[in-house]
């Protein structure tokens, strides 16, 4: 009798243990999307760490003042999942369009020069919504020192949420394109990753490439990138590694490299290279029109 009770007790314990393990196993499941989301801040964090150091600041001159008198767009606000609204400079086409170009600032912030870039793309594309997003929540730097300070204060999670909010602002059936410079070039590539099937084309001007292969495999659109052979962030070696990684991931990347330094496409920068910028811009517009 005691033996029967003992065996019965073992059976009950075994059933209870297996039920508990099943619950634990189902609770521990993590989707691919969640894994990618957790990894989104790694490349961004590496950039922010680099951009907060004096050596990076020395690569940048104080930006020249740009007149804002003739700007065509307007500032708007849009909702973000973290509960804090974000700002953007918005230009709407005359006819309603499902195509949206997300324009992403340099490390200075959403200044008038970036707004003028948004105007230029809007004028040449004619049929596309253009949304230049404010990744610093209203703060703009005027010197390398103040830009480094903003970089140190920037939160990757908040900026990721702003990108997601911009994509949501465009609408459920929107076709998303993106362009950015340096800081914004990095985030333009991240937009392609975050956007998934909504992303239809991405332009990078000398932004830090993504190195995580799982994230690169998640890209569902073509990428075009413009880089300077005299640049150190990203360096030519980093660009070559990016090309190889994209090829391994089976993704389409076209890169164009110029005998130019960091920030060569910024007309307010003393390192501005007019010839390289004109060539890159023409290729960027052709890329967007073809996609």
Give residue-wise pLDDT tens across range 180-224: 999 999 999 999 999 999 999 999 999 999 999 999 999 999 999
- What is the three-class DSSP state of 74? strand
Q: Does residue 121 belong to any structural domain of this protein?
A: yes
Q: What is the DSSP letter of 92?
A: -
**Could you give the angle at the alpha carbon of 117 between the alpha carbons of 112 and 122, nearest 5°?**
120
Q: Domain span at residue 162?
A: 39-290
User: What is the C-alpha R_g of the chain?
Assistant: 23
Mean pLDDT confidence for 53-63 = 67
Mean pLDDT confidence for 77-81 = 97
CATH number at residue 266: 3.40.50.1820
Q: Does residue 6 belong to any structural domain of this protein?
A: no
Q: Does residue 229 belong to any structural domain of this protein?
A: yes
Q: Does residue 21 belong to any structural domain of this protein?
A: no
Total of domains in the chain: 1
b or e along 162-192 (b: 16 or more beta carbons within 10 Å of the residue's beta carbon)? bbbbbbebbeeebbbbbbbbbbbbbbbbbbb
What's the pLDDT score for residue 59? 66
Is the pLDDT reported for residue 3 higher than 50? no
Q: Does residue 30 belong to any structural domain of this protein?
A: no
The model's pLDDT over 116-147, given as tens digits with 9 standing for 90+, comes to 999 999 999 999 999 999 999 999 999 989 99
Q: Does residue 9 belong to any structural domain of this protein?
A: no
Residues 6+ apart with CB under 8 A from 120: 281
> Torsion over CA of 240, 244, 247 and 252, rounded to 10 degrees?
-20
């Amino acid at each position: 009798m005691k033996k029967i009770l003992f065996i019965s007790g073992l059976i009950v314990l075994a059933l209870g243990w297996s039920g508990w393990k099943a619950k634990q196993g189902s609770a521990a499941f993590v989707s691919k999307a969640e894994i990618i989301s957790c990894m989104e801040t790694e490349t961004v964090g590496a950039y922010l760490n680099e951009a907060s150091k004096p050596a990076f600041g020395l690569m940048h001159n104080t930006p020249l003042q740009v007149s804002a008198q003739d700007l065509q767009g307007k500032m708007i606000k849009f909702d973000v999942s973290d509960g804090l609204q974000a700002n953007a400079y918005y230009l709407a086409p005359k006819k309603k369009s499902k195509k949206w170009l997300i324009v992403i600032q340099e490390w200075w912030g959403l200044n008038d020069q970036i707004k003028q870039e948004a105007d230029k793309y809007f004028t040449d594309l004619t049929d596309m919504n253009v949304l230049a997003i404010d990744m610093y929540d209203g703060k703009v730097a005027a010197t390398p020192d103040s830009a480094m300070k903003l970089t140190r204060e920037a939160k990757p999670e908040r900026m990721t949420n702003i990108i997601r909010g911009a994509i949501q602002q465009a609408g459920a059936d929107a076709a998303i394109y993106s362009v950015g410079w340096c800081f914004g070039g990095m985030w333009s590539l991240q937009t392609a990753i975050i956007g998934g099937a909504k992303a239809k084309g991405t332009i990078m001007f000398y932004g830090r490439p993504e190195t995580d292969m799982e994230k690169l495999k998640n890209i569902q659109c073509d990428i075009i990138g413009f880089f300077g052979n005299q640049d150190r962030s990203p360096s030519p070696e980093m660009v070559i590694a990016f090309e190889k990684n994209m090829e391994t991931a089976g993704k389409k990347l076209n890169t164009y490299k110029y005998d130019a330094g960091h920030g060569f496409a910024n007309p307010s920068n003393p390192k501005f290279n007019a010839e390289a910028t004109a060539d890159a811009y023409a290729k960027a517009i052709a890329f967007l029109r073809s996609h």
